[in-house]
Chain A
């Protein structure tokens, strides 16, 4: 479980707080999406989970451990973070070595590393690039390598920062499948994204941030029908909630999130529109 208790954070030499009075609790096995405009404090928030940043005030607890008392290396065994820009991570001479990097740092034995890396490369369809330099892969492939290099050591908590950027439709579907698989394994998933459709597909809960504060917390249906919150967070309302809102239906609109929901309720919607 992850718990932020009245967390404030200020970068050294900055005058304003990047995080203000953050109180969040994320249970084991939850899939939480953190959304908000640029500079809202999303990345600063996730850097607290594995102790890269320590709170200026307040406490962050991960699986009963106060992050102030543990090193990043110790917390990283529990929390795997995949950062937004793959170029900030990739350095090894081959994709195999890149994926094996964290496993070697955590001192797994070589036989286990070999099996685990091969298994992960297969899952991410990266086997053919096993010996290739990751520096010369395409943007989407690099992204997959970076996700694979964290997923391979099976952290209990997986944090993904803007994972859909640079992925084509097929790779995005693979990512959705991967997250669904991890959810089945009861892993805790935290995703930072601007991609609201991605949240619709996967989120158990959404946290909207604005100017270092939590603006709203709720289910995806609560969020996508809250035009005011979406406007403040600079997020575009998806097309289905837009249509439903414009039609001013008397039925519980919050049940209509996807195109499938819309089609299922089409008869009721049409009846509503006629009356």
Chain B
């Protein structure tokens, strides 16, 4: 089962957590691009190895493994479908590794970067303050909404609701007692948050000040350079300029 707790930032004092969100995003973005650009098994394996460094340095291996565990169904599905259509184990494995790179590089960013830092990065990139705040709140309420959904399902099941019974139309209809309270709770919470924000002078200034400023440090430069070098090497391999052999 997908549990939002496994995808959410927890504060830790590690070298990766201290990095600037922009450099971490740059790294994650390059990994995503490279994983999509190549289908070569060796290259994907190299990229997978590279994704492990921030996971180990950021001490988030346990959380990443739990997230992968909840994605096992999709990984198996990718392998089976691709194996059936191509009858090529290496290709099916390569696509599984590609999916793993996408998950791990996303997690390396999201599990080590607080939403406040992400929002601040957008703010520094001159995005409107309202947009940045909406982003922060949307992200922050994911676990809360998930918890609400679980409680609502429990409450309705306790009154005899069986969501898995009947044909497709009946099943969709069975979910109405879950969807309506979930929407009502979400709207009510949004209104309460809006009122609480307005009571604290939200909107008084178009560009409010921040508690702290983002600064590029030595570690950020190192990650930037390492990611760029890897990007160039892998791109050169894809274009046939160099040859990398791992397996």
Q: A52-B157, A83-B158, A149-B159 are in contact. Are A88 and B152 (CB under 8 A)?
A: yes
* Residue interface bits B148-190, CB-to-A below 8 A is 1, else 0: 1001101111111110000000000000111011001100100
Contacts of B185 in A (CB 8 A): 87-88
Contacts of B18 in A (CB 8 A): none
| Least CB separation from B154: chain A residue | A52
Q: Is B6 an interface residue (CB 8 A)?
A: yes
Among the listed B3, B5, B66, B181, which residue makes an inter-chain contact with A89, where contact means beta carbons less than 8 Å apart?
Answer: B181
Contacts of B151 in A (CB 8 A): 83, 85, 88
The answer to whether B6 touches A88, judged by C-beta atoms less than 8 angstroms apart, is no
The answer to whether A73 touches B162, judged by C-beta atoms less than 8 angstroms apart, is yes
Contacts of A47 in B (CB 8 A): 154
The answer to whether B148 touches A88, judged by C-beta atoms less than 8 angstroms apart, is yes
Q: Is A106 an interface residue (CB 8 A)?
A: yes
Within 8 A of B (CB), among A115-154: 135, 149-150
Query: Which size bracket describes the interface of A in this complex?
Result: 20 to 34
Q: How far is the CA of A174 from the CA of B55 in the complex (A)?
A: 57
Contacts of A135 in B (CB 8 A): 184
Q: Is A76 an interface residue (CB 8 A)?
A: yes
The answer to whether B148 touches A13, judged by C-beta atoms less than 8 angstroms apart, is no
Nearest-neighbour CB distance to chain A for B89, whole angstroms, equals: 31
The answer to whether A87 touches B70, judged by C-beta atoms less than 8 angstroms apart, is no
Q: A105-B161, A106-B160 are in contact. Are A13 and B155 (CB under 8 A)?
A: no
Within 8 A of B (CB), among A69-119: 71-73, 76-77, 79-81, 83, 85, 87-92, 101-102, 105-106
Q: How far is the CA of A81 from the CA of B66 in the complex (A)?
A: 32
| Least CB separation from A103: chain B residue | B160
The answer to whether B155 touches A76, judged by C-beta atoms less than 8 angstroms apart, is no
Using a CB–CB distance below 8 Å, which chain B residues touch chain A?
1, 3, 5-6, 66, 69-70, 148, 151-152, 154-162, 176-178, 180-181, 184-185, 188
Nearest-neighbour CB distance to chain B for A182, whole angstroms, equals: 17
Determine which residue in B1, B159, B161 has the highest number of CB atoms from chain A within 10 A of its CB, and name it.
Answer: B159
- How many cross-chain pairs have Cβ atoms below 8 Å apart between A and B? 74
The answer to whether B160 touches A77, judged by C-beta atoms less than 8 angstroms apart, is yes
The 3 A-B residue pairs whose C-beta atoms are closest, nearest first, are A105-B160, A102-B159, A91-B180
Q: Is A64 an interface residue (CB 8 A)?
A: no
Contacts of B1 in A (CB 8 A): 12
Q: A47-B154, A52-B154 are in contact. Are A87 and B161 (CB under 8 A)?
A: no
Among the listed B66, B152, B159, B178, which residue makes an inter-chain contact with A101, where contact means beta carbons less than 8 Å apart?
Answer: B159
Within 8 A of B (CB), among A1-30: 12-13
Q: How far is the CA of A143 from the CA of B160 in the complex (A)?
A: 19
Contacts of B181 in A (CB 8 A): 87-91
Nearest-neighbour CB distance to chain A for B45, whole angstroms, equals: 28
The answer to whether A76 touches B160, judged by C-beta atoms less than 8 angstroms apart, is yes
Query: What would 9 more interface pairs be, CB under 8 Å, given A52-B154, A85-B151?
Result: A73-B162, A80-B158, A88-B152, A90-B184, A91-B177, A101-B159, A101-B177, A105-B159, A105-B160
Q: How far is the CA of A92 from the CA of B159 in the complex (A)?
A: 13
Q: How far is the CA of A176 from the CA of B195 in the complex (A)?
A: 36
Nearest-neighbour CB distance to chain A for B177, whole angstroms, equals: 5
